[in-house]
Structure 1
Amino acid sequence: MSRLASPAALAAGAHGGVNGVALAVFVFFFLAVTVMGFLAARWRNAEQSASLDEWGLGGRSFGTWITWFLLGGDLYTAYTFVAVPAAIYAAGASGFFAVPYTILVYPLIFTFLPRLWSVSHKHGYVTTSDFVRGRFGSKGLSLAMALTGILATMPYIALQLVGIQAVLDVMGVGGGEHTNWFVKDLPLLIAFAVLAAYTYSSGLRAPALIAFVKDGLIYLVLAVAIIYIPAKLGGFGHIFDAAGKALAQPGAVPGKPRGELASGPHNQWAYATLALGSALALFMYPHSITATLSSRSRNVIRRNTTILPLYSLILGFLALLGFMAVKAGTDIQGNPQLAVPQLFEDMFPSWFAGVAFAAIGIGALVPAAIMSIAAANLFTRNVYKDFLRPEATAEQEHKVAKLVSLLLKFGALAFVLTMDKTVAINFQLLGGIWILQTMPALVGGLFTRWFHRWALLLGWAVGMVYGTLAAYGVASPTQAHFGGPSAEIPGIGEIGYIGLTAFVLNVAVAVVFTFALKAAKAPEGTDETSPADYTADLGDAEATATDLPPAAAEAPAGR
């Protein structure tokens, strides 16, 4: 079955002895992409300048294929490879909410992302907060959007680091539960150092290059896993039968089953609200917008909304790994996040387990880099320049963004070191609750200026306070707050997904107070945009050469 002498030894080895072959393969790929990250600083070096556009948006020059890989690497993260199968392993069908929400999201973004690209390109906006400030003439509302984006990004970066730690734990690196905290969390510190170094050096070009390797590894591992593992386990019929029986057993909540193979009537509202709320939130995240604005034309955005759903198919297959881990009797040592890494360790030969672990590790590095860049862009443009140093030059913005990208990772580490990692999907859901509160100002502003800037700010505040307090009140058997029992998907309140409920309150307050403020003739601020700005395109004369990594293409003369 594997390299170790017995199942007992195998389980012990995952958290005791080191799997040397798998670790060597993992380190090889990890070092390779790290080198790529540093070399990315020289990609099209003649065109680079010390500016936020170049460091934080890759010069706004990426074509269809680079944008596709960048967005895929950005949106399909360690959350996809680790947290979703872990939720399905622990709770069953409710964990599949991630599949329909990634299907719902693309028709939604087709309606507004091209408009955002056009107006941002016209006015040089780097962040969504730049747009909100220009649209509503409100630095206060812009600041609220920026701080929310930074806050929501922290737990999402943390989730990527949890994915890396889960892989290293399975390979026997990092120590056990009784190891001192520094040794136990050393993998996180190493991941932090690697991320910090190449992100600081190369900006968005680094994850853009590494995304090609990351996605290639994921495609390879998934293609093997969905054929090889079911064959060893007797087929999907046996897998679903075993999962159904296991999920019907008592779980962490007394008197309740561990989960369901198929979602029952009492879970349908929670499932639907969680899927819809997550779909609305996904492209509100700063890293999603950063990858979008890095493209060279609005046609690139439209094309990507039609081909990105291919990743949803991949996500569906990845989710099934949770059921495979149930059938295989995977020993997770009380931590569902180890389900997929341990399944790979048990089922694959050492060398291919190392390839699979590298896919997960690199799948965490790419989005974590983009997230830290996006959050740094927000701080630099909408806190530093708007409030601390309005006269800052492009070069000063560039330097501040690079420094802040380092500092923000400390915040992500704080999430990892202080919160319960056994239900890591909480990290993403908590960020979703917060970032969803920026949608009325962003998407509403792209289509209408009817909302009053102060009403939007008040609605944002109500949504943030309610969402945070409601999420704080969710407990788990291991954590008093911001938790969620493993037999349920966390982030769900009595009336559905907390983030969506907070969003509805947000919109209701914004509508009511817009009427009131307009009646009182409160000043509405100056709109620096015009209707034509939202549909303008500079054309789509894309050169195939610039749509490939540097190994396969030469830099063009200019944009």
Structure 2
Amino acid sequence: MPESATVAAFLAVVGGTSLVAVGARWFRRDDSLPTLEGWALANRRFGAPTTWFLLGGTIYTAYTFAAMPGLVYGTGALGFFALPYTVIIYPMAFVLLPRLWSVAREHGYITVADYVKGRYDSAPLALVVALTGILATMPYIALQLLGIRAVLTAGGLYPRGLAGDLAMIAVFAVLAAATYRHGLRAPAVISIVKGAAIFGAILAVVAVVLDELGGPGRIFESAESRDAALTLDPDLYPAFATLAIGSAMALLMYPHVLTAAFAASGPRTLRKVTIALPAWTAVLGLFAMLGIAALAAGVEAPPGNAESAVPLLVEQLMPAALTGVLFGAFVVGALVPAAVMSIAAATAFVRNIYVEYFHPTATPKHQTRIAQLVSLTAKVGAVAFVLGLRNQDAINLQLLGGVWILQTFPAVAIGLFTTWLHRNALLAGWAVGMVSGTLLVVWGGFSAVVSVAGVPMYAALVAFLLNLAVAVGLTPYFTAARTAVRAS
């Protein structure tokens, strides 16, 4: 049983966050008539501080903070690929996000599929981009709940059976109600609480761990004495590099990341934010170090549940109140990305499927109402998924989500700089990437790394290269065919 101080601190963090979420109606309040842009993007009015908290809180999910140290605990040095990947991403974001924001603002685009349709004058290409985004996002929402459950179960804060499930549903219900009413403003205000809780808790935890285990040198020595693979095998260099590069490219294509970026007040705001976002990577590095500390401390995580290593370490070494704060921070850490993901998926559905193919004359108010309902449905579906299926199912689907979302990179990112690629060639490339990436992952036993000619590589990047090769190869053919039709 957890100590009363742990429970009290945990409830204080989660309860305080819930109150903040309910009060989101007063954050950047706008009394104009409801529109989808206002609900999904807060009318593009977030300044640099809010955007920094929101974008950081969206990119760095609760599952990331639990899974990365768990991966380090279980596999050693290979688990550190997330650090270079979250460094690589920001130069790319510095170039791509302000440019994409400017195009979206100029033409009134709300989703990335809106941009693709306008850029290539292709409704089918916009549809597959929207569907890919929704498909990749849904298991990601469920994964946030899995992160909550795994961490709290390890810490003894998740009651067994129905009581634990009802507690998780109650927390998520508050988020669902706040998001339904206030749209992106709800996760924006929660992200501020998340940032404060995560940064404060990890600094305190690392200070205690270093003191208890004798400093960084002693921690690494103790971990190595337990046969931890803290040096990367040269044979895994290609896997490490492709995981970092491919993950960075894929993350920028997720609808929830682009939704948070589109809510910024301008390109200058986004440039400031991307320069400052590596502070979140520093925190992620501290969490990764806790995975090594768990090895050094002799923590025994249950087989197949390496993400519980850090919660077990925290429970073993930390004061009770601090343990409760950190576990509360994990829960808050899941609420922000889950809310933004549901908003992004709902907005893509309304703009690029519902309005485009079913109700072209829908008023802004009607579009907003449908988006609210779809967002709520996405959250309910995520809860049902977590309660009804195995954890591994959500993890496998989220792995496939990363493979799928990267296949939109040519149409979205490359299209910002050139329109040379033909829309039909992009469609063909997308189809090849989706099929080949899915088959690679499935045939590889749902592993992110697959062997290509004996070289271990990230499956998503392999599929992307095939995608790009097809798009580039078929563009001259489709361009020539179009020219011939016009000449005739």
Q: Provide the TM-score with structure 1 as the length reference.
A: 0.82
Distance 1:151 1:424 in 2: 12
**Corresponding residue of 1:314:** 283
**Corresponding residue of 2:410:** 440
**Corresponding residue of 1:487:** none
2:78 is the alignment partner of 1:94: yes
Distance 2:140 2:407 in 1: 16
CA contact (8 A) 2:57 2:195 kept: yes
Q: Which amino acid aligns with 1:162?
A: L
Name which of 172, 179, 185 aligns with 1:192.
172
2:445 is the alignment partner of 1:491: no
Distance 2:72 2:231 in 1: 11
Gaps of 5+ in 1: 1-16, 249-259, 476-481, 483-489, 526-559
- Cα distance, 1:286 vs. partner? 0.5
Name which of 183, 202, 213 aligns with 1:222.
202
**Corresponding residue of 1:168:** 152
Name which of 179, 186, 193 aligns with 1:213.
193
Q: Which amino acid aligns with 1:385?
A: V
**Corresponding residue of 1:408:** 378
- Cα distance, 1:166 vs. partner? 1.9
Matches within 5 A, 1:283-322: 283-322=252-291
Going from structure 1 to structure 2, the CA distance change for 1:423 and 1:314 (only over 3 Å counts) comes to farther
Distance 1:401 1:271 in 2: 39
Q: CA offsets, 1:470-502, max 9 Å, x none?
A: 212233xxxxxx3xxxxxxx4110130000001
Name which of 48, 51, 54 aligns with 1:67.
51
Distance 1:440 1:142 in 2: 13
Q: State the SS of the aligned residue for 2:470.
A: helix
Name which of 43, 66, 79 aligns with 1:82.
66
**Corresponding residue of 1:471:** 441
Q: State the SS of the aligned residue for 2:226.
A: helix
Distance 1:399 1:456 in 2: 33
Q: Which amino acid aligns with 1:491?
A: A
CA contact (8 A) 2:432 2:466 kept: yes
- Cα distance, 1:425 vs. partner? 6.4
Bigger share in helix = 2
Q: Which amino acid aligns with 1:244?
A: E
Matches within 5 A, 1:269-288: 269-288=238-257
Name which of 304, 327, 336 aligns with 2:296.
327
Distance 2:32 2:448 in 1: 43
2:473 is the alignment partner of 1:516: no
- Cα distance, 1:244 vs. partner? 2.2
Name which of 222, 241, 264 aligns with 1:242.
222
2:225 is the alignment partner of 1:268: no
Matches within 5 A, 1:375-386: 375-386=345-356
CA contact (8 A) 1:295 1:301 kept: yes
CA contact (8 A) 1:337 1:423 kept: no
Q: State the SS of the aligned residue for 1:449.
A: coil
Q: State the SS of the aligned residue for 1:116.
A: helix
CA contact (8 A) 1:455 1:509 kept: yes
CA contact (8 A) 1:80 1:318 kept: no
Q: Which moved more, 1:40-49 or 1:157-166?
A: 40-49
Q: Which moved more, 1:347-356 or 1:151-160?
A: 151-160
Q: CA offsets, 1:382-432, max 9 Å, x none?
A: 111111111111001100111101111244345545665379865654321
Going from structure 1 to structure 2, the CA distance change for 1:65 and 1:438 (only over 3 Å counts) comes to same
- Cα distance, 1:299 vs. partner? 0.5
For the aligned residue pairs, the C-alpha RMSD in angstroms reads: 2.1
Distance 1:499 1:72 in 2: 23
Q: Provide the TM-score with structure 2 as the length reference.
A: 0.93
Name which of 141, 145, 158 aligns with 1:157.
141
Q: Which amino acid aligns with 1:492?
A: V
CA contact (8 A) 1:55 1:202 kept: yes
Matches within 5 A, 1:6-21: 17-21=1-5
Calculate percent identity across the aligned residue pairs: 47
CA contact (8 A) 1:165 1:187 kept: no
- Cα distance, 1:48 vs. partner? 4.3
Q: Which moved more, 1:499-508 or 1:28-37?
A: 28-37
2:181 is the alignment partner of 1:201: yes
Distance 2:90 2:396 in 1: 23
Name which of 329, 341, 357 aligns with 2:311.
341
Q: State the SS of the aligned residue for 1:493.
A: strand
Q: State the SS of the aligned residue for 2:203.
A: helix
Distance 1:234 1:247 in 2: 19
Aligned residues: 481
**Corresponding residue of 1:504:** 465
Gaps of 5+ in 2: none
CA contact (8 A) 2:21 2:175 kept: no
Going from structure 1 to structure 2, the CA distance change for 1:39 and 1:78 (only over 3 Å counts) comes to same
Distance 2:56 2:485 in 1: 39
Distance 1:273 1:238 in 2: 32
Name which of 321, 324, 338 aligns with 1:368.
338
Distance 2:223 2:397 in 1: 26
Distance 1:365 1:157 in 2: 9
Q: State the SS of the aligned residue for 1:494.
A: strand
Going from structure 1 to structure 2, the CA distance change for 1:437 and 1:67 (only over 3 Å counts) comes to same
Q: State the SS of the aligned residue for 1:380.
A: helix
Q: Which amino acid aligns with 2:88?
A: L
**Corresponding residue of 1:251:** none
- Cα distance, 1:45 vs. partner? 3.0
Distance 1:422 1:129 in 2: 30
Going from structure 1 to structure 2, the CA distance change for 1:447 and 1:129 (only over 3 Å counts) comes to same
Q: Which moved more, 1:149-158 or 1:130-139?
A: 149-158
- Cα distance, 1:190 vs. partner? 3.5
- Cα distance, 1:197 vs. partner? 1.7
- Cα distance, 1:183 vs. partner? 5.2
- Cα distance, 1:236 vs. partner? 1.8
